[in-house]
Amino acid sequence: MTHISDSRWLKSAAVVAYSLVILITTLAFYGLIGFDGAHLQVGLLTDPYILQILSFSLKQAGLSALLSVALALPVARALHFMPQLVAKKAFLSLCLLSFVMPTLVLITGLVSLMGRTGLITPILPNDWNLYGLNGILIAHIYLNTPLAIRVLSQQMAHIPDTSWRLARQLRFSRWQQFTHVEWPAIKPSLLMLLGFIFVLCFNSFAVVLALGGGPGSTTLEVAIYQALKYDFNLSEALTLAWLQFTLAGLIFALIARMGKLNWLSADTSSQRWQPVLGRRSQHLHRIFYYLSWGALLLPLLALLPTVSEAKLSNIDLPGLLQAAFFSLLLGFAAAILAMLLAWLLLIPIRRASLNRLENQRVVLQWLATHTLVAPAMVLSTGLYILLLPRIDLDHWGMCWLIFINSVLLLPFVIAQLKPRLLQFDLQYGRLSANLKLSISDHFSVIWPFIRSVTKGSFALALLLALGDVAVFSIFGNNTFATLPWLIYGYAGSYRMAEAALASLLLLAICALLVFIFERHQKTQTATSASDKMTRTPKND
C-alpha cells in the first residue's frame, strides 16, 4: 500500500530529521567525553550521597505522579458527569495555562502564597515549611494535575453510549460502574500519564533548586548541574547523566510501548448520553470542581500584592516590551522548527503504525521524542563544550538556542500531532493513496483535517518555549534578552517589584496564547463532529 512516506523527497527529509535529533544528543555526549578525557565513573554509583540523590529523585517523582493523577481523577469525573458545571471551558483553559506556566512565575506565586509570610500561611499548621519535599510536591502537582485532568476527562468522553446504557440495564452500582465502565476506558491513559508525569518530575530542575531547601532534596538533574558548573567535573556529570538517561529512558520506553496518549487536544466524541447522578454525588463533584478552581487560581492571585509595590515610574517599559518581543520571536522560531521536525519525524511513525509494525513504531517514536528523557543540562552543556572552540557562539549562539529549544519541544508537539495524523491515515489514507495524489495535492487534502491541531500544537510549543531559561543561560546573548532572562536580571540586582511585574507580563502573554490555542481547539471540535459522518466505527 502506498503512503505519503513513499515520496522520495519526504523520505529523505524524514531521514535528515531523524539524523538531526539523534546527532544533537550524540554530539552533546561526545562533547562531554571529548574534553579532558572524561569517562564513566562506575564507583560513583555506590557513593552514599549519589544513592541518596537517586532515591530522593525516584521518591519525589513517584509521589508527584501518583498524587497528580489521584487528584485529577475526581475532578475529571466531575467535568465529565456534570456538563452543567459553570465555566467549564474557562477551567480547561486554566488547566492548560497551569501546565505551561513558566516555573519561575509559579515559584514566585507559591512563595507569596505559602512561604513564611505567605497569604494563607497563618491558617497552615504551625510547623509548616514550604521548602523541601512539601514545596517540590506542591509545585509538581500544580503543574501536572491540570494535564491529567484534561487527558482523563477527554478519555472519559470516549466511553461509548452503549456501555452506559448497558450499565444501567444491568443495574450496576456506582462502584461497579467505575470498575466495569470507567476504569477500562481510562486505564491506558492513566498508566501513560503516570509514566509521563514521572519522567517530567524525575528530570525536574528549577522547581527542585528553588523549593528543595537544601542538599537533602537534590535530584539527579540538579546534581548534574552542580558537577558541570562549579566543579567542572565532567566525568561525574557524564556518569550521572547516563544514570538519569537510562532510568528515565527505560520508563519512557515502557510508556511508548503501552500506547496512545491522546492528550491536550479536545477530541472527537461529543457527549450524547450521560448517567444521571444522585444529589449527594452531584454536590461532591461540584465541591471537587470548585476546590480545584481555587487551587489553580490562588498562586496567581498571590502575585498581585508584590506587583502593586512597583513604582510605575521606575519601570523600563521599552525594555520590557523589547524583551517580550524577543521572547516571542525566539519562541516562534523554535516552535516553527519544532513543528517542521515533528511533522517529518512522524512520517515513518505513521507508516509503521498503519502497517502494524509495533516494534518499529516504538523504536522510531522513542528516537523522535527521546529529548524528553535526555538531561537538558547535558544537551546544552555538552554542545556548548563541543562548539565553543569550533564555532563563534557569540554570533551563532542564537541559532543553536533555537535549534536546541525546538528539539526539546519535540516530545510535546509529537504527542499533540500524532493522534490526529494517525486518524487521518486510518480514515483517508487508503483513499488518498489509491488516488495517487501528488505531494501538493496530498497537502491540500490533509490540511483541513490537521489545520486546527497544527495551530494548537504550535501555540503549545510557543508557550513552552517562552519559559526557557536553562538553554538561554548557556547559548543566549544579552542583546536579545528574553522576558525570563530579564526577570533574573531584575531580581539579581535588588529589583524585586520589577521582576514581579515582568513575571506578570510573561504570564499575561501565556494566557493570551492559551486563549488562542483554545479557540482553535473549539473549531476543531466543530469540524470533528462533521468528520463523524464519514468515520469508521472504531479507530483507536
The neighbour count for residue 333, using CB atoms within 10 Å, is 19
Instruction: Give the shortest CB-65-to-other proteins separation in angstroms.
Output: 24
| Using rule CB under 8 A, residue 491 touches other proteins | yes
**Do 332 and 462 contact (CB within 8 A), yes or no?**
yes
Comparing CB distances to other proteins, the nearer of 175 and 494 is 494
Q: Which of the ranges 72-80, 174-182, 224-232, 338-346 carries the binding residues for other proteins, by CB under 8 A?
A: 224-232
CA–CA distance, 43 with 260 (Å, rounded to integer) = 39
Single out the residue of 84, 126, 162, 478 in contact with other proteins (rule: CB under 8 A).
478
Share of the chain residues as helix, strand and coil, in percent rounded to the nearest 5 = 80, 0, 20
Question: For the stretch 155-190, what's the b/e string if a residue is b when 16 or more beta carbons lie within 10 angstroms of its beta carbon?
Answer: bbbebeeebbeebeeeebeeeebeeebbeebbebbb
Contact call for residue 4 and other proteins (CB under 8 A): no
Residue 489 near other proteins by CB under 8 A: yes
Query: Using the rule CB under 8 A, is 488 a contact of other proteins?
Result: yes
- Measured in whole angstroms, how far is the alpha carbon of residue 422 from the centre of its chain? 21
Per CB under 8 A, the list member of 138, 186, 210, 323 interacting with other proteins is 210
> Should residue 161 be labelled a site residue for other proteins when binding is judged by CB under 8 A?
no
In the chain, what is the greatest distance between 2 CA atoms, to the nearest angstrom? 73
Question: Contact between 304 and other proteins (CB under 8 A)?
Answer: no
Does 273 bind other proteins (CB under 8 A)? Our answer is: no
- DSSP classification of residue 312: G
Please report the DSSP string for 513-538 in residue order: HHHHHHHHHHHHHHHHHHHHHH--S-
Smallest gap, in angstroms, from Cβ of residue 201 to other proteins? 18
Q: State the minimum distance, in angstroms, from the CB of residue 490 to other proteins.
A: 9
Nearer to other proteins, 78 or 113 (CB): 113
CB of 239 to other proteins, least distance (A): 16
For the bound state, the minimum distance from the C-beta of residue 519 to other proteins, rounded and expressed in Å, comes to 36
274 binds other proteins (CB under 8 A): no
Interface of this chain with other proteins, residues 350 to 409, rule: CB under 8 A: 384-385, 388-389, 391-392, 394-396
Q: What is the rounded CA–CA span in Å between residue 303 and residue 300? A: 5
Q: Is 538 exposed, middle or buried (0-12, 13-18, 19+ CB in 10 A)?
A: exposed
Distance between CA atoms of residues 488 and 482, nearest Å:
10
- In the list 74, 115, 195, 429, the residue contacting other proteins (rule: CB under 8 A) is 115
Torsion sign (Cα): 137, 143, 147, 152: positive
Within positions 33 to 52, which residues make up the interface with other proteins, using CB under 8 A?
35, 49, 52
Q: Quick check: 422 binds other proteins (CB under 8 A)? A: no
On whether the CB atoms of residues 262 and 151 are closer than 8 A, the answer is yes
For position 306 contacting other proteins by CB under 8 A, the verdict is yes
Instruction: Output the CA–CA distances (angstroms, integers) from residue 237 to 201, 242, 247, 506, in the order listed.
Output: 19, 9, 15, 32
Question: Which helix (H) or strand (E) segment is 122 a member of?
Answer: none
Nearer to other proteins, 316 or 531 (CB): 316
Q: Does 120 bind other proteins (CB under 8 A)?
A: no
Which amino acid does the sequence have at 371? T
Binder among 499, 504, 510, 514 for other proteins (CB under 8 A): 499
Residues 232, 273, 325, 447: which binds other proteins (CB under 8 A)? 232
- The residue whose grid cell reads 486510518 is 426
**Does the protein bind other proteins through residue 110 (CB under 8 A)?**
no
Task: Of 155, 156, 149, give the one whose Cα is nearest residue 95.
Answer: 149
**Residue 208 or 464: which CB sits closer to other proteins?**
208
* CB half-sphere exposure, 138, CA atoms < 13 A: 22
Q: How far is the CB of 324 from other proteins (least distance, A)?
A: 17
In angstroms, the CA 357 to CA 363 distance is 10
Interface residues with other proteins (CB under 8 A) are 5, 8, 11-12, 14-16, 19, 35, 49, 52, 111-112, 115-117, 129, 131-132, 209-216, 225-226, 229-232, 306, 316, 319, 348, 384-385, 388-389, 391-392, 394-396, 473-474, 478, 488-489, 491-494, 496, 499
